[in-house]
């Protein structure tokens, strides 16, 4: 297989593992902090709907590279390919075409913390 194919397969495995490990730790607090807009420790249906709508609008805007209001397959694939390449470069800290699970987990946790801070600022 090509080197790129192996990279993508390894990345998918690492991401799946990292997501499953961190999901158990942050599930309850993550859900509440992302969707509890009035910070009362509870998530109502309206809070969930509003938070989900905000997140989807942000994601769709990001996917629409040429800003024409339509997401083509080329834009969708291109945006995600760029993301995979950026993540790989970030995680392959010594440029040896191998990534460490520990590095991925630490960077994912830092990213999640930054995202939670950004969400709190926008409220």
Q: How many domains does the chain have?
A: 1
Rounded distance between C-alpha atoms, residue 78 and residue 72, angstroms: 10
pLDDT, one tens digit per residue, over 32-60 is 777 888 888 888 889 888 988 998 899 88
Rounded distance between C-alpha atoms, residue 74 and residue 65, angstroms: 10
Range of the domain at 65: 3-121
pLDDT, one tens digit per residue, over 13-22 is 666 555 554 5
pLDDT band at 67 (very low <50, low <70, confident <90, very high): very high
Rounded distance between C-alpha atoms, residue 48 and residue 36, angstroms: 8
């Amino acid at each position: 297989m090509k080197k790129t194919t192996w990279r993508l397969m390894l990345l998918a495995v690492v991401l799946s593992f990292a997501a499953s490990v961190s999901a158990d730790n942050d599930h309850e607090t993550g859900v509440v902090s992302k969707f509890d807009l009035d910070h009362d420790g509870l998530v109502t249906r309206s809070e969930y709907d509003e938070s989900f709508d905000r997140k989807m609008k942000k994601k769709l805007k990001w996917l629409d590279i040429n800003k024409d209001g339509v997401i083509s397959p080329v834009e969708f694939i291109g945006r995600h390919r760029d993301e995979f390449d950026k993540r790989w470069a970030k995680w392959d800290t010594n440029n040896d075409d191998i990534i460490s699970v520990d590095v991925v987990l630490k960077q994912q946790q830092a990213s999640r913390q930054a995202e939670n801070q950004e969400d709190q600022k926008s409220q």
